[in-house]
Structure formats: structure tokens, C-alpha cells
Structure 1
Amino acid sequence: MSLARVLVSLCLCVFMMAEAAAQPLPPQVQRLLEQYRVPAEGISVLVQPVTGGAPLLEHRVDVPRNPASAIKLVTTYAALEVLGPAHTWQTEIHTFAPVVNGTLQGDLYIRGGGDPFLVAQEVWKMAGALRRTGIQRIQGDLVFDLSHFDIPREDPGAFDGQPFRAYNQPPHALLMNFNAISFQFRPAEDGRSVQVAVDPPLADLRLDNRLRLGGQSCGTFPQGVGFHVAREQPVPRVLLEGEFPRGCEDVSLLRTALPPEEYAYSLFTELWGQWGGTLEGGWRLGRIPDPTSRPRVVHHSPPLGDLIRPVNKHSNNVMTRHMKLALGAHRYGGPATLEKGYAAIREVLEREGIDTRGLVMDNAAGLSRTNRITARQLAGVLMAGRRSAYMPEYVSSLALSGMDGTLRRRFVGQPEAGRMHLKTGYINGVSSVAGYVRTAGGRDLVVVVLINHPNAHRWAGLEIQDALLRWVYRQG
């Protein structure tokens, strides 16, 4: 036989083996794709054992697609590998003026360290620690040192035109309580008006409640409730107008309304007052006069191993972005930049043998129209996560089917409940899910589903995902 014929035969054999290994999509998935008019070219699927080996199912696994929030799997894995689960963030309080009889005769400096979880309770603890140093009255201003982050100013409404949605809050070196306000609604006892409570209560925010009760069903909320922010002086004003469903009780909206510095000033002042402290000044931006000075108070965040749980289980966007900034600064030195964070992530993946060609991560949380990753790359991250020394922290951070996080309402009371640790992702035209499935027979599999198509709206995407996940669960 000639060499040419040998080569042709070899190529044909390889082709036939590849065709045999490339299984078609399960029939139930194909039916749903046809029903919702999503072409097979619009979906990538990879299912394989967590230890690697031959895939049980692979379909267009090398097509770069937008993963939406499933990209958090990449960011949190890299953060664990670079920072370690015991990593904490520090917020420092400095004083440079004398303290006489409990009075700080000058300014109080707060240096933000990019803490992704400086929630109200943590700020309260920090204020209490300051009070215990002997200060009760602050004559000067709060001075915020934000130099730990070197990032461009960002329009919070750039992604989807919703600048006051809490999920759009950009990173900030001194982000307190995610800069978020919970507006809590219930019908008033008079049967005509609507009561609105604000948490946390902020003195530097005025609420103008013009809501009236309407006859809509509670399921329509928050449709019909208008939310507007007016940057008025001396304090901003939130205007609520429209109709609130008469049958609704104890529902809420989570929104932003103040710039982060104004929010931090107002929240700190409120919580400082709870410790019996007084603040006479305002706020301004500045830098610590002597960076080598010893802080009066150092507040530590909870450890990273705890904080990746709200990121992956509940898909917290701004926390994810803070983690990317932190791992970049840790790897390449401060200040934290977007470029350093991206470089650190690529370095971690390449060290694990994951081909990063075509990977695009302009937003580490998934709020992007240009993010791209292949199913093969994402599966590589998941398998690396299973090999990691920090595997327990990584896997347990994912939502558990039918039990918690973004999967708490899926597979409830069904055999698949509690058998899947997954990260979901949704934006317009994108529906994704990825993680780990323990099958009915006890096999541990990695699964990645990436759907990019205009018809992959939320409910269609969920049905396609669930059909594929049920199929995976039954694979031995």
C-alpha cells in the first residue's frame, strides 16, 4: 500500500473515531431547542468525568461564547489559588491629630483596602473598635483614602441602562454595604397608602413616597413602581411613585441611590452615633499623610473561603470584581488594576494547562456583552478546581440543586435535588450553567452548558438546562 493511501486511511480512521465520540444532543434537549427555535449551533455542551478522560457528551465545545455569570467560576477559582482561603482584606483607620478628653482635634482618615464585604454589621464593629480607643468626638472630617484601587470611573448604567440596580454597582476601594439600600414595602393600616421603610436608615437621603395602592396581583411587583433619584441639595431625594399591589406584604427593592463616598459617610456617621460618638465635620477625599504610620484601628474582613459562597451561590457581582482586583494586586503589587487582575487569572489557568486563547474577561462577574470562554476551557477550570487543595471551599461555594442559592427553586423534591453543585448565568440572549453533578449511580461529572441565542430568554434557557441536567444525572 502506498504512503498516500496509508495517510488517507489513517485520516479516515481518525475522522470516524471522532464522529463516533461526538454524541448527538439528547432527544429531550433537541426537542426543546426546536420548540424554542434555538439552533443547535447556538449551544455548547461538555459532560465528562471530573478526573478527565473521554467525554460522555461534547457539542461545539471549542466555540467561544458569552458565559454571563458562569464566568465567576473562573474568577473565584483563581482567587482561591492566588490568595488562599484564609486571605482577608484590611480597612485602616488613622489619626494624626491629638486626642484630648475623648475629642479627636482633627480629621479621621479611613483607608479602603477593597474589602468586598464591608457590610453594615462590619462597619458597626469597626466603629466600635475606634470608640474603644478612647475617641468619642471627631472635630474634623472623614477623609477617605481610595488609593488602593487605580481603576477608571465607570458608568453603572452602561451595561443595561439601569444605574440604580444594586447588581450594577462598580468596584470601589471603600465600598460599604455594597452601596445598597433596601426599600421595604407594605400596605398601610389606613388601606389607602403604602408604608416604605429604608434599611439602613441614612440621614443623607430623603424619601418622597407618592405610591398608591392598586389592584394588581403581587406577582407583578415591582412593575408599576417607579424609582427615581434626584441629586438635590443638601441631600439627595428618592422618589417612589406609581401603584403598589394591595395584596403584597413585606416585599422589597434593593437599589443604589448615593455615590459610594456619600453613602460611606452617612452610614459611618449613623453607626458611630450608635456607639455614642459624634462627628462634626463632613467628608472629603485624600491620602494618608504618612503611609508608614501605625493605624489606630485595623478591621479585617471575613476570610475569602467564606466570601466566595455569596459570590457563587447568590451571584454577587461587585464582590467578584473586588476579588479579581485583589488577586492582581497580590500577584503584581499595588495599586490594584483591572489589567493586573486579568493577567493573574490567565497566569493561573495557563499554569494548569488550560489553553487561554480566545478567552475574554472584560468583566470578572459576567456583566458583559464581550466576555468569551469555550465549554472546554470552563470545564478545564472545573476539573482544576476538583484537583485543587482548596477543592472543598470551591465546590461548596456553588449553589446546591433544590436547596440554596440560585438553584433553591429548581429540582425541589426531585431525585436531582442535592446532587448538583452549579453556577448559573443569565443575561439577555445568554443562558448558562456549569459545575458538578453526582449521578444516580454515584459518578461525579463536570457539566458545562453555554447557550448564546436571542431566543435563549430566561425560561427557555432554564428548560433546556434542566433537560440536559436530568440527562446527566441518569448517566450511571
Structure 2
Amino acid sequence: MDKGLSEESVKGIQRAVDEIFGQEHVTVTLRDRGTGQVVYDFRGQHLMRPASNMKLVSGAAALAILGESYQLKTEIYVDGPVENGVLKGDLIIKGGGDPTLNEDVFVKFASKVKEYGVTAIQGSLIGDDTLFPGETLPPGVDEEGETYCWGARVSAISMSPDADYDASSIIVKAEPGEIGEQPSFQVIPHLCGHEITNKAVTVAAGEENTLEVLRTNDTNQIVISGNLPQGESAKAWVSLQNPTINTLQFMKHIFKEQGIAFNGTSAIAQGIVPESAELIHTHLSPTVAEIFPAFMKFSNNSIADIFVKLIGHEENGVADYESGLKSVRAYLNQLQIPAEEWQFIDGSGLSHSDRLTSEGISALLFKLQEEPYFKTFFDSLPVAGKPDRWIGGTLRERFTESEYENRIFAKTGYIWEVFCLSGYLIGDSGKEYIFSILVEGYEDGIPYIDRGLAEMLRYL
């Protein structure tokens, strides 16, 4: 089975797999990073749910198909004459899926509108989000997950509250008050048309923090509930009820702050750019390469699905999952990755219907080393134990002991009872390997993966 490891090493790794994971819950593949040779394999061709290890696939495809320099486009149109600074018609925003739109960008939009000579808008603020057709809720999101940023709707017009680019979400921060009183709260960057009901209570220091911030599905109602102890705080990312409309509501707020008035009857609505409209500004996002660290370090679901949809648009003319994933599969075939039986539902791995293999993932990670975009890909992987979140990402609190420093560069993955870790490592011998570990059936699989990988390192 193996010429790269001693018989003793193979037996040691197998013992770790048997004793730590159990034979029915895991698939493991180890490759020599230099040669690509499989040095250990346990159920490597067994189809497993990849969780966010799916982002290794969708991310690599985005770098290859869209390209590192690709930028997402947002356009501003006017439809109507401008007389004495008044636009006697509609202002239209045509979305291109940019997940990085934020307050600073909207201030810039306002300045471009004013440069065109508009200081008041008599018509409506229209959002054309038709680039992404169909249902906005990702296929893997259940009723409980819809309120969270990782389950946010994917729209061609959205916004992010900070540089993590959690598209289609806002942040609610809560601070305790006097015991028995409601905590105070702050919304970043803006309520965007939502309403908050505060049912939470401040309790004494040392009591359990049970504070929750949840949006009721299919509504703009956000409820803060539970107990917040004195001396603590809480921070929650909440998904937007309708990303297009909510983003336009925030944009309208910024426009007003920047001195652009709206008629009292001006509406916010979804629509299509008419042929009569005039393009006055095109905004370009950061490049895919610049977005990539936030995507991989923080395992950003929205960006994964946006990438897949844009791949579909660029390759097949339709920005949906089916078209995008068709091209992702073609990309894997081009790299000769054994992915014939793989199942794709989304780009993020949030769906429990996705299926990959550890053998195929490790083969992809090997092949990527020869691609011109590999440095961008590798540098965006979380580095185990590094406390700086822009380096350690989702691995910053794992493998924190000094013996593991700068030795594990990998993508995490989690959905209910599924835990994954795949990437590159340096064994105790100093030799470099590629690994993929997919685990199912544990309520908390992280300790199993970390113990198992730590034990494997001893034999590598």
C-alpha cells in the first residue's frame, strides 16, 4: 500500500484512526506533498459530506475560471431628466453580486450621483438584482439557520457590515445595564429597515450568559432575548430579510446624510434597468485574490455561493448553482481529479447533500501546487494556532502548542455532526504532506480530528 512510510508508521497511523475515530466515522488520505504519492489511505474513496471543505473546490475553481484579477461590478443608472438638481425619475442600482459593498462605498455612490448634478430624487430607488435568478435562500439552509449570517440569502445586491465580508448581514452588539434592566444595543452599520424588540435582561456578574439575537424567518423582526451578565457583552451577526431591499434602505439613508433628498413618495423597490436609463457610474469590487483571504480564513458561505453563480454566468450565461457547478465539475475533470461520483448542491458545503472524498480532495490539493494562482490559494488557508485572526482564521484556537507552530495550513469544515480538515502539514520528520480528514457522526468532532492529526504527525 505504501512505499513512502515505514510499516511501523502506517501501523501507528492506523491505530490512531481505529482508536480515536472508529472505522465507520472517518475517511483519511495522506499524500507526499512533493510527489503526490498516497502514503496512507483509509476509506479514501468513501463519499462523505465535506461541509466547508467544499470551499477548497469552489475557491480553486473561482481562481481558475474567474481569475485572480476578476472584479465584481455594481452600476448606477438614472432614468429621467435632471432639472435644477432634481432627478425627475428613478435612480437604479444594478447589482453584480459584490459582497464587499459597505458604508464607505455608498458614500462614494452618493458623491458620484451629486457629481452628475443630482441633489434630489423625485422618483424611486430601484434595485436590479436579476443577475442571480431564482430563490435567494441557499439550498442547505434550514429554518433554524436562516437568521444567521452563515445562512444569509444570496442576492446580486447586498452589503457587508465589516471587512470579513459576511454579505447580507448586520451586526447587533449588546452591553449590560443595571441588574434587572434591558441591555443596550448597537446595530452595525444600520437597521436597514428591520425592527428590534428587546426582551433581554441584565443579570449579575457570574450568571450564565444566555443572550440571543434572532431574526424571525421571512420578517424584518429581530428579537433580543435572554440574560446578559454585567461585565460581559454579546455580538451577533443577523441575516438580512431581503438583501436587495435592505441594502437599498441603508443606501438611501447614506444618500440623505450626504445631502441627497428624496421625495416623500419615493419608494424602494426591485426592478430592471430600462433601456431609457443612462449609466453614470460603475463601481468595481476588490479583486477575487483580495477577497480570497476573508473567504477562506473565515469560511464565508455567501462568497462561496457568489463565486459559483458568477462562474455560471461567465461560462454558461446563467448565474445560478446548476450552471456554475457544471463548470466546477468540468474544471475538476480538466485537472484529472477523480470526482465522477461527487455530488454538488452549493458552493459552500452547507448542504447535507454535498458529497466528496478525501482521496479526491487531497488530489486537488496536490494538483493546485502547479497552478499560477496557488500562492493566493495557499496563503488564504488558516494557519493552525496563530492568534491573529487574519492568519489563523478558523484554526486560530486549535493546535496552539508551540510544537505545532507553522506546521498545519488547512481548511476547516463544520455542519451538524460533520467535521472536516484538509490541507498541508509538516510531519515530525520535517517532511511535508497533504492530508484530508472527513468525520461524520459526532456532535463535536473537533477534539477527535485534533487528537487524531496530532497522533498522525508523530509518524510522518
TM-score (norm 2): 0.89
Corresponding position: 1:296 with 2:296? no
CA distance in 2: counterparts of 1:53 and 1:286, whole angstroms: 51
Change (3 A) 1:16 1:413: closer
Structure 1 residue 253: deviation in Å? 1.0
CA distance in 1: counterparts of 2:8 and 2:306, whole angstroms: 41
Corresponding position: 1:323 with 2:312? no
CA distance in 2: counterparts of 1:226 and 1:82, whole angstroms: 38
In the alignment of these two chains, the number of paired residues is: 446
Percent identical: 24
Corresponding position: 1:447 with 2:435? yes
CA distance in 1: counterparts of 2:54 and 2:307, whole angstroms: 13
Q: Pick one of 97, 100, 104 that aligns with 1:114.
A: 97
User: Which has the larger displacement, 129-138 or 167-176?
Assistant: 129-138
CA distance in 2: counterparts of 1:258 and 1:445, whole angstroms: 44
Corresponding position: 1:248 with 2:232? yes
Query: Aligned residue for 2:212?
Result: 225
Q: Pick one of 243, 246, 251 that aligns with 1:260.
A: 243
Query: Aligned residue for 1:129?
Result: 112
Query: Aligned residue for 2:399?
Result: 411
User: Which has the larger displacement, 260-269 or 61-70?
Assistant: 260-269
CA distance in 2: counterparts of 1:389 and 1:152, whole angstroms: 35
Corresponding position: 1:342 with 2:325? yes
User: Which has the larger displacement, 59-68 or 436-445?
Assistant: 436-445
CA distance in 1: counterparts of 2:213 and 2:131, whole angstroms: 37
Unaligned runs of 5+ in 2: 161-166, 387-391
Structure 1 residue 300: deviation in Å? 0.5
Equivalences for residues 358-397 of structure 1 within 5 A: 358-397=341-380
Structure 1 residue 175: deviation in Å? 1.6
- 8 Å contact 2:20–2:448 — kept in the other structure? yes
After superposition, give the CA deviation of every residue in 1:180-208 in whole Å (9 maximum; x if it has no partner): 12111111267733111111223623322
CA distance in 1: counterparts of 2:139 and 2:334, whole angstroms: 34
After superposition, give the CA deviation of every residue in 1:225-278 in whole Å (9 maximum; x if it has no partner): 36354978xxx44332332223313x2111125322331121101221232222
- 8 Å contact 1:107–1:138 — kept in the other structure? yes
Query: Aligned residue for 1:164?
Result: 147
Q: Pick one of 184, 191, 194 that aligns with 2:173.
A: 184
Change (3 A) 1:256 1:268: same
Corresponding position: 1:211 with 2:193? no
- 8 Å contact 1:328–1:336 — kept in the other structure? yes
After superposition, give the CA deviation of every residue in 1:410-454 in whole Å (9 maximum; x if it has no partner): 12242212222110011122110001113344432111001122x
Larger Rg: 1
Structure 1 residue 58: deviation in Å? 1.0
- 8 Å contact 2:179–2:201 — kept in the other structure? no
CA distance in 1: counterparts of 2:406 and 2:84, whole angstroms: 58
After superposition, give the CA deviation of every residue in 1:302-360 in whole Å (9 maximum; x if it has no partner): 00001121111101101110000111211122x31211101110111000111221111
CA distance in 2: counterparts of 1:289 and 1:117, whole angstroms: 26
Unaligned runs of 5+ in 1: 1-13, 34-38
Query: Aligned residue for 1:313?
Result: 297
Structure 1 residue 215: deviation in Å? 4.3
Corresponding position: 1:64 with 2:50? no
Q: Pick one of 433, 436, 457 that aligns with 2:421.
A: 433
3-state SS of 2:286 partner: coil
Change (3 A) 1:229 1:150: closer
CA distance in 1: counterparts of 2:141 and 2:382, whole angstroms: 28
Give the residue type in structure 2 aligned to 1:312: M
After superposition, give the CA deviation of every residue in 1:90-131 in whole Å (9 maximum; x if it has no partner): 000111211222221110111111113223333333333333
Corresponding position: 1:282 with 2:267? yes
Corresponding position: 1:357 with 2:340? yes
Give the residue type in structure 2 aligned to 1:302: P
3-state SS of 1:409 partner: coil
Give the residue type in structure 1 aligned to 2:214: F
User: Which has the larger displacement, 159-168 or 418-427?
Assistant: 159-168
Give the residue type in structure 2 aligned to 1:444: E
TM-score (norm 1): 0.86
Query: Cα RMSD over matched residues?
Result: 2.8
Query: Aligned residue for 1:36?
Result: none
CA distance in 2: counterparts of 1:287 and 1:120, whole angstroms: 24
Give the residue type in structure 2 aligned to 1:457: E
